[in-house]
Amino acid sequence: MSAENDKILTEITENDYKYGFVTEIETETIPKGLNEEVVRLISAKKQEPEWLLEFRLKAYRHWLTMKIPVWPHLKLPEIDFQDVIYYAAPRKTPKYSSLDEVDPELIDTFNRLGIPLEEQKHLAGVAVDAVMDSISVKTTFRETLAELGIIFCSFSEAVKEHPDLVRKFMGSVVPYTDNFFAALNSAVFSDGSFCYIPKGVRCPMELSTYFRINAANTGQFERTLIVADDDSYVSYLEGCTAPMRDENQLHAAIVEIVAHDNAEVKYSTVQNWYPGDKNGKGGIYNFVTKRGICKGDNSKISWTQVETGSAITWKYPSCILKGNNTIGEFYSVAVTNNHQQADTGTKMIHIGKNSRSTIISKGISAGKSQNSYRGLVKVLKGADKVRNFTQCDSLLLGDQCGAHTFPYLEVDNETAIIEHEATTSKIGEDQIFYCNQRGIDTETAIGLIINGYAKEVLNKLPMEFAVEAQKLLQISLEGSVG
Amino acid sequence: MLEINNLYASIEGKEILKGINLTVNPGEVHAIMGPNGSGKSTLAAVLAGRDLFEVTEGSAEFLGNNLLELSPEDRARMGLFLGFQYPVEIPGVSMVNFMKTAINEQRKYNNLEPLSASDFLKLMREKKEIVEITSSLTNRSVNEGFSGGEKKKNEIFQMAMLEPKLAILDETDSGLDIDALRIVANGVNKLRTKHNATIVITHYQRLLDYIVPDYVHVLYKGKIVKSSGKELALELEEKGYDWIKEQY
Ligand SMILES: Nc1ncnc2c1ncn2[C@@H]1O[C@H](COP(=O)(O)OP(=O)(O)O)[C@@H](O)[C@H]1O
Ligand SMILES: [Mg+2]
């Protein structure tokens, strides 16, 4: 499929990443580099309480003793952590109580991203916390949610308005000592979202955070904390984009989820950070620590992720299944194209009796990319009658890409039933030609096949996200079968 | 409808088609026969636009267009259908979704609105009857886990859905038991009109008892070495291909 496909390939890969624009807005940044002074400066800018500054400093000092992990199947370039700006905020800050006060440029930016900040314009049933660079710009539907006792606000506000909750749970799932990037985030995190669902409340709308990197040379370090009290339910969405820039940008986030007795949290991500150009220039380095704890009995945490962006992705949304009869789920589609690299997967730590986990991972590799699944299923001694099912599929487009799986199994209890299935397949030219012969062009054919392949995961996404995600998959892979 | 002139094609430098001439008019049924490895499937693939094969000489015109310049999908949208000798499986893509995409791509090409979901399902039901296909098949992924016979029926079902102007059926009869053969042949006959044409590629005379051709051609070593009426098929059945091989 040589000539024609080469043409399509060139056209598409040279096509704009749809979200690659830059917002011309006055940004306040601090000088490049990281030291204790910078940590103090960030904390001061955010007028934080002493305990939080202490937390940051401890994290920073710990970070200094750590090294960047070398075990992922990634070619990590040297990252100069002194060459990053650790705080950038749209000038007219901080938070806007009314939309009238928000810079029209910002409203326009989020409109272009499909995230209108006007509540009446918004997708019915989705509340959004919009975060640009280091700052939460606007949280919609706060009042509506507050009537139910649901707290949904930026992390900074939560620190001010609900310090006890934040203090109790921040770092309880991902301690700052957890890993290099978690320590870094804990030292310099700027903003993010906070959500608390009180006992017995089913959150009536999807909550979502939209992360946008805009400023150049900056890193984005946000944290999200979700606490679901007994018998509550919430579905949470996360989206992200960034401008096209030639230099790489660092994103190191933390997401912590705490689910109490009988609570259920669904966390869905459509990750579409700028992946770099077709030659591998630019793109986001995405190092994220996401972990939830099913603390109470019968609680459930589900991670669903569609990963299409970033030059490098390092991310393992995990579940600690502490309570009895708890459920952890991980559904993932990870797409890599051109020179992208992804090392992603999950950890299911079974502590509670009768805890169950399901892992469905669908990797799609194209171009010269490398796509790895890395997953740990760990069953502790006291965890009787644990069940795990893992399905790990790889789909290859072309023969210059790589797909790898690294499953780890640590089982200390004989009653556990662990199942693992894995497949590797390829989109064949004969499949494409069969579609062509029925009048379906190559791009559409790939879309059909990919969406069929990823269906199990896409079906887990909330409706309006699923459609977006389908389109995104197709766009990410356009021109990649040759 | 189809006019092939002195067509040469090769793969990896190996010449497979060596000067094919063939004219097909609306309403006609042509049978192409010949021993294995003669180039029958290659001819079908070249006409459908498989770029594994390189056309080195000659021309092919379809409905007044230079066929060889069109993309495979445009050839299909214009009404050229290939029933594959070996239909491929496409896991995860449901027949319904696949056919709906195919039909609507064709409609778009012809400046028609996409079919509504209900019209589409109605059409599916109608056409399924023609090839006596059970509904469970259309709920599955394209050809996935289909038996040999089911795959062939599925090809005819797709042909019925797409209503091509020219259908090239590549060994649609091979591997079929007599009932399936009858169903497939009936399907093809039901779809015959004055306006469309069919090229039946087959190894055996058997199918031609059911689908009666206007012309029979023998393809051997990349050339059509003999063309005649339907009686040629009987002669081949009787004498085998050896006398052809000896002669050419
Ligand atoms: N993909 C291919 N690669 C190399 N040779 C091929 C390929 N397809 C067909 N051929 C060769 O082309 C010749 C004709 O094959 P084919 O058209 O399938 O014959 P038929 O359909 O008449 O049995 C054979 O010699 C076969 O080996
Ligand atoms: Mg053949």
ipTM: 0.96
Which residues have CB under 8 Å from B65's CB, separation 6+?
A: B78
The residue among B207 and A247 whose pLDDT is bigger is: B207
Q: How confident is the model at residue A103 (pLDDT cuts 50, 70, 90)?
A: low
CA separation for the pair B189, B198 (Å, rounded): 10
Residues of A with Cβ-Cβ distance to B84 under 8 angstroms:
434, 437
Q: What is the reported pLDDT for B173?
A: 86
Range with top average pLDDT, A246-250, A426-430, A463-467: A426-430
Q: What is the reported pLDDT for A433?
A: 96
pLDDT per residue over A143-175, tens digit each? 788 899 999 988 999 999 999 999 999 999 999
Give the 3-state secondary structure of residue A281: coil
Residues of A with Cβ-Cβ distance to B162 under 8 angstroms:
438-439
Domain segments of chain B: what residues? 2-247
Neighbours of B119 (CB within 10 A): 11
- B178 at interface of A, judged by CB pairs closer than 8 A: no
Residue B176's identity, in one-letter code, is L
- Whether pLDDT at A97 is above 60: no
What is the residue-wise DSSP string for A144-204?
Answer: HHHTTT-EEEEHHHHHHH-HHHHHHHTTTSS-TTS-HHHHHHHHH--B-EEEEE-TTPBPS
- Whether pLDDT at A1 is above 50: no
Span A276-302, mean pLDDT?
91
The residue among B89 and B174 whose pLDDT is bigger is: B89
Please check whether residue A233 lies inside any domain of the structure: yes
The residue among B217 and A97 whose pLDDT is bigger is: B217
Q: What is the reported pLDDT for A15?
A: 44
pLDDT per residue over B18-44, tens digit each? 999 999 999 999 999 998 899 999 999
Q: What is the reported pLDDT for A4?
A: 44
Q: How confident is the model at residue A219 (pLDDT cuts 50, 70, 90)?
A: confident
Centroid of chain to Cα B220: 19
Geometric angle at alpha carbon A208, from A42 and A240, rounded to 5° = 65
Is the Cβ atom of B42 under 6 angstroms away from ligand 1? yes
Task: Classify the C-alpha dihedral A427-A431-A437-A440 as positive or negative.
Answer: negative
Q: Taking the CA of residue B36 as centre, how many other CA atoms within 13 Å lie in the half-sphere pointing to its CB?
A: 2
Token pair in block for residue B135: 């509904």
CA separation for the pair A71, A479 (Å, rounded): 32
Burial annotation A235-265 (CB, 10 A radius, 16+ → b, else e):
bbbbbbbbbbbeebbbbbbbbbbbbbbbbbb
Task: Classify the C-alpha dihedral A181-A182-A188-A192 as positive or negative.
Answer: positive
Closest CA to A363 of A377, A378, A375, A350: A375
Q: What is the reported pLDDT for A9?
A: 35
Q: State the SS3 of chain B.
A: CEEEEEEEEEECCEEEEEEEEEEECCCCEEEEECCCCCCHHHHHHHHHCCCCCEEEEEEEEECCEEHHHCCHHHHHHHCEEEECCCCCCEEEEEHHHHHHHHHHHHHHHCCCCCCCHHHHHHHHHHHHHHCCCCHHHHCCEECCCCCHHHHHHHHHHHHHHHCCCEEEEECCCCCCCHHHHHHHHHHHHHCCCCCCEEEEECCCCHHHHCCCCCEEEEEECCEEEEEECCHHHHHHHHHCCHHHHHHC
Ligand 1 centroid, distance to B39 Cα (angstroms): 6
Q: Taking the CA of residue B87 as centre, how many other CA atoms within 13 Å lie in the half-sphere pointing to its CB?
A: 32
Measure in Å the smallest separation between the Cα of B246 and chain A Cα atoms.
Answer: 35
pLDDT per residue over B217-248, tens digit each? 999 999 999 898 888 888 888 888 888 888 77
- Probe target for ligand 1 pocket from B36, B38, B51, B225, with the most ligand atoms within 8 Å of CB: B38
Ligand 1 centroid, distance to B228 Cα (angstroms): 25
Q: What is the reported pLDDT for A197?
A: 97
pLDDT per residue over A364-420, tens digit each? 888 888 899 999 999 999 999 999 999 999 998 878 888 999 999 999 999 999 999
Of A171-180, A271-280, A461-470, the poorest mean pLDDT is in A461-470
Please check whether residue A482 lies inside any domain of the structure: no
- Whether pLDDT at A83 is above 60: yes
Q: What is the reported pLDDT for A119?
A: 55
CA separation for the pair A7, A478 (Å, rounded): 11
Ligand 2 centroid, distance to A396 Cα (angstroms): 29
Contact B92/A453, CB-based, under 8 Å? yes
- Whether pLDDT at A11 is above 60: no
Ligand 2 centroid, distance to A402 Cα (angstroms): 34
Q: How confident is the model at residue A100 (pLDDT cuts 50, 70, 90)?
A: low
The residue among A142 and A15 whose pLDDT is bigger is: A142
Of A204-213, A336-345, A385-394, B146-155, the poorest mean pLDDT is in A204-213
- B51 at interface of A, judged by CB pairs closer than 8 A: yes
Residues of A with Cβ-Cβ distance to B68 under 8 angstroms:
none
Write down the residue that tokens 């996935």 correspond to: B144
Look at chain A and report how many structural domains it folds into.
1
Is the Cβ atom of B143 under 6 angstroms away from ligand 1? no
Closest CA to B218 of B203, B207, B206: B203
Span A69-73, mean pLDDT?
86
Q: What is the reported pLDDT for A8?
A: 38
Q: What is the reported pLDDT for A461?
A: 79
CB B187 within 8 A of CB B156: yes
Residue with CA nearest ligand 1 atom 8: B42
Closest CA to A401 of A452, A339, A315: A339
Q: What is the reported pLDDT for A13?
A: 36
CB A229 within 8 A of CB A245: no
Q: How confident is the model at residue A60 (pLDDT cuts 50, 70, 90)?
A: very high
Q: What is the reported pLDDT for A259?
A: 98
Q: How confident is the model at residue B87 (pLDDT cuts 50, 70, 90)?
A: very high
Span A179-208, mean pLDDT?
92
Span B192-219, mean pLDDT?
91
- Whether pLDDT at A125 is above 90: no
Give the Å distances, CA to CA, from B202 to A172, A231, A445, B243.
Answer: 71, 67, 29, 18
Q: What is the reported pLDDT for A378?
A: 97
Ligand nearest, relative to CA of residue B17: 1
pTM metric for this prediction: 0.81
Supply the mean pLDDT for chain A: 84
- Tell me which CATH code domain B2-247 carries: 3.40.50.300
- Whether pLDDT at A117 is above 90: no
Q: What is the reported pLDDT for B200?
A: 94
Residues of B with Cβ-Cβ distance to A452 under 8 angstroms:
90-94, 97, 141
pLDDT per residue over A25-52, tens digit each? 667 778 888 999 999 999 998 899 999 9
Give the 3-state secondary structure of residue A5: helix
Q: State the SS3 of A336-353.
A: ECCCCEEEEEEEEEECCC
Instruction: Describe the strand order of the beta sheet including A300-307 as a list of residue ranges.
Output: A135-139, A126-132, A206-212, A233-241, A264-271, A300-307, A327-336, A356-365, A387-396, A417-426
- Whether pLDDT at B8 is above 50: yes
- Whether pLDDT at B54 is above 80: yes
Closest CA to B25 of B152, B201, B198, B244: B198
- Whether pLDDT at A73 is above 90: no
Burial annotation A409-448 (CB, 10 A radius, 16+ → b, else e):
eebeeeebeeeeeeeeeebebbbbbbbbbbbbbbbbbbbb
Contact B51/A2, CB-based, under 8 Å? yes
Percent pLDDT > 70 in chain B is 100
Residue A372's identity, in one-letter code, is S
Query: Which residue on chain A is closest to B70 by alpha carbon?
Result: A4
Please check whether residue A90 lies inside any domain of the structure: yes
CA separation for the pair B248, B18 (Å, rounded): 13
Range of the domain at A49: 18-303
Q: What is the reported pLDDT for A480?
A: 63
Q: How confident is the model at residue B117 (pLDDT cuts 50, 70, 90)?
A: confident
Residues on A contacting B at a C-beta cutoff of 8 Å: 1-4, 425, 428-431, 433-442, 444, 448-449, 451-453, 455
Supply the mean pLDDT for chain B: 91
Question: Before A94, cis peptide (omega within 30)?
Answer: yes
B141-142 and B90-94: which strand pairing? antiparallel
The residue among A111 and A59 whose pLDDT is bigger is: A59
